[in-house]
Each structure stands twice: as C-alpha cells, then as structure tokens.
C-alpha cells in the first residue's frame, strides 16, 4: 500500500535537515506521498475573491505557463487576471523553493511545467471516464508524452472553509503493470509519426508513452478493478501541502475544492534509484527498450 510520510517543514524556503531529505527522496521514489501538514500556502487578502468556481469557467482548471506568464482557462476581468497570475506564479516559485530544499538532488534535472489552479468541486462533476480523476489511475496525458521522464507534482489545499481534499491511493506501480500489461498490445507501426504530424502530440509518443497511456485508460475503464483493488482513503486537510510522482502512484481525487498544483518533469537519470522509474519497470517486464 502507498505510504504517506509526514515532514514537519513549515516554511517554503528553509533548509531541510539531512535525515528528512534522505527520507523524502526514498519515500518519493518508492511511490509514496510526502505530506507537509504544517506547510500552508498563503492566499493574500486581495486574492480571496479568486476562491470561486466561476474563476475557471467551463474548463474547471486554470493553467499557467510559469515561464511565459500565459494563463489559460480563466474567465475573469483584467484586474482579477493579474491577481490570479500573481497567486499562481507565487505558487510556482514556492514549490520550486520547496523542492530545492527537500530534494536538492533533483535540482539540476527538474523542468518546471504547468501550474494549475483548481477551484471547482470535484464531487459530482461530470466527465468522460478517461478524464475522470475520481477513478484510480497513474498520470499520462495523450498530448504530452514525457518520453520516459517522471511526473512530479506538488499540491496545496487552499480551501478557505477548512474542507479536506479527498484522495484514494491504490496498489503499487509494479502491481498495476503486472495486472494490465498482458492485455495491452504495442503501438501500431508508424502511429507515433502520424500523431506528431496531426499535432495530436506535442512531441513523439514513444512506446513508453503508449504503454503509460494504456495503463491510465485501462485502469479508469475497469469498474471491477476500481471497486475491488486494494485501496486506502486519505483526506488532505486544508492548509497542507503534498507531493508525489503521479506517473507511479495509483491515485484518485474524489472530493475537494480549491487546490493549487505545480507539475515538474524529471529525467530518470536524475533519480537516486532509476530502477524504480515506471520506464525501467515496464522495460524489465516487457524485456525491451521503450524510448
Ligand atoms: O486534483 C487533484 O487533487 C488530483 C487530480 C489528479 O488526478 C491529478 O492531478 O493528477
Ligand atoms: Fe492524476
């Protein structure tokens, strides 16, 4: 079962003791969740108005490209837009500082991707099964192949009413892979070039990305699996922060409103133990190279 390990860190930008850093990297790479119960992301008084589902309109999430400042998915006026950008880029910077202190080993390899603001209530939301994050899954995105790189995400529950964000955690990546791989066939020859040509993918969908996407889709589509697989619930309190490799950890978000999230990509070779990467696990099980 997935471990949730707590660290006492209460500041976004302060050195973390060596013992905690060693524990942190081990927990993350084994597919655990690192929880910071005392690390609250501060929403400034002027930003309180942003805590409304209307801020995201139909898209449900607002996303920021922290390197260009481009915002997508928001439906607010210009003044609020600037505040939204401020809040989200502050989270982008804070999460980066936190990672630098918690897992300094990753610093040189980390690539900061999108920041997201999630103001919609998860429970009762209607989506296609494939997009339904209330079902256990490992992260893999059709248009954004990682080509083997890891997906590391930092989340903060900023709910102003004290509501928890409720997750479920499932079996280990190895167990997921062993269960679903036998029924997944390899990519169709030439499909990687076709997807790229049609601009369906931003870069080449490698065999690794193909298998990860299939795992993601098969897990979500299998209702018997969803109800029968060993799983545990965890409710993240308001005012806390957590991080995990979401390409490895079987997770589902079943309820909650108002979170910030920052995605990072990390090359497998930046890991302390690359053999724990989904890429290496899949390659071992399939007996071939996947990127
Ligand atoms: O919004 C959340 O709490 C998590 C949803 C999810 O599955 C993800 O972001 O990968
Ligand atoms: Fe996810």
DSSP 8-state secondary structure symbol assigned to residue 201: S
Whole-model pTM: value is: 0.97
Q: How far is the CA of 69 from the centre of ligand 1 (A)?
A: 22
- Ligand number nearest CA of 234 is 1
User: Is 246 touching ligand 1 by the criterion CB < 6 Å?
Assistant: yes
All structural domains of the chain: 4-286 (2.60.120)
pLDDT (tens place) for every residue of the chain, 291 residues total: 679 999 999 999 999 999 999 999 999 999 999 999 999 999 999 999 999 999 998 888 999 999 999 999 998 888 889 999 999 999 999 999 999 999 999 999 999 999 999 999 999 988 888 899 999 999 999 999 999 999 999 999 999 999 999 999 999 999 999 999 999 999 999 999 999 999 999 999 999 999 999 999 999 999 999 999 999 999 999 999 999 999 999 999 999 999 999 999 999 999 999 999 999 999 999 999 999
Strands (E), the chain: 4-6, 33-36, 62-65, 70-72, 111-118, 150-157, 165-169, 232-236, 241-245, 251-255, 259-266
Q: State phi, psi for 183 to the nearest 5 degrees.
A: -100, 10
Which ligand is in closest contact with the Cα of 118?
Answer: 1
Question: How close is the Cα of 254 to the center of ligand 2, in Å?
Answer: 11
Q: Is the minimum distance from the CB of 210 to ligand 1 under 6 angstroms?
A: no
Nearest CA to ligand 1 atom 4: 253
Alpha-carbon span 254 to 121, nearest angstrom:
9
Q: Is 257 in the pocket of ligand 1 (CB under 6 A)?
A: no
Cα 94 to ligand 2 centroid, rounded to whole Å: 21
Closest residue (by CA) to atom 3 of ligand 1? 253
């Amino acid at each position: 079962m997935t471990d949730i390990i707590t660290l006492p860190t209460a500041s976004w930008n302060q050195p973390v003791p060596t013992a905690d850093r060693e524990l942190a990297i081990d927990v993350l790479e084994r597919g655990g969740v690192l929880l910071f119960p005392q690390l609250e992301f501060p929403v400034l008084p002027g930003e309180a108005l942003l805590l409304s589902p209307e801020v995201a309109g139909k898209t449900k999430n607002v996303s920021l490209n922290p390197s260009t400042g481009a915002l997508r998915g928001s439906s607010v006026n210009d003044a609020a837009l600037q505040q939204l950008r401020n809040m989200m880029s502050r989270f982008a910077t804070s999460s980066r500082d936190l990672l630098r202190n918690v897992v300094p080993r990753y610093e040189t390899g980390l690539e900061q991707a999108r920041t997201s603001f999630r103001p919609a209530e998860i429970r009762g939301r209607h989506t296609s099964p494939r997009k339904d994050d209330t079902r256990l899954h490992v992260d893999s995105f059709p248009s954004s192949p990682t080509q083997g790189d890891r997906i590391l995400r930092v989340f903060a529950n900023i709910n102003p009413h004290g509501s928890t964000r409720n997750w479920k955690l499932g079996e280990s990546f190895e167990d997921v892979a062993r269960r679903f791989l036998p029924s997944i066939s390899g990519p169709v020859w030439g499909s990687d070039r076709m997807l790229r040509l049609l601009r369906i993918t931003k870069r080449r969908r490698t065999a690794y990305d193909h298998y990860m996407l299939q795992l993601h889709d098969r897990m979500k589509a299998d209702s018997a699996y969803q109800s029968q697989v060993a799983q545990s619930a965890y409710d993240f309190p308001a005012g806390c922060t957590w991080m995990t490799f979401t390409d490895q950890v079987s997770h589902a978000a079943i309820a909650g409103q108002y979170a910030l999230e920052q995605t990072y990509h990390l090359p497998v070779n930046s890991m302390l133990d690359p053999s724990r990467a989904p890429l290496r696990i899949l390659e071992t099980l399939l007996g071939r190279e996947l990127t």
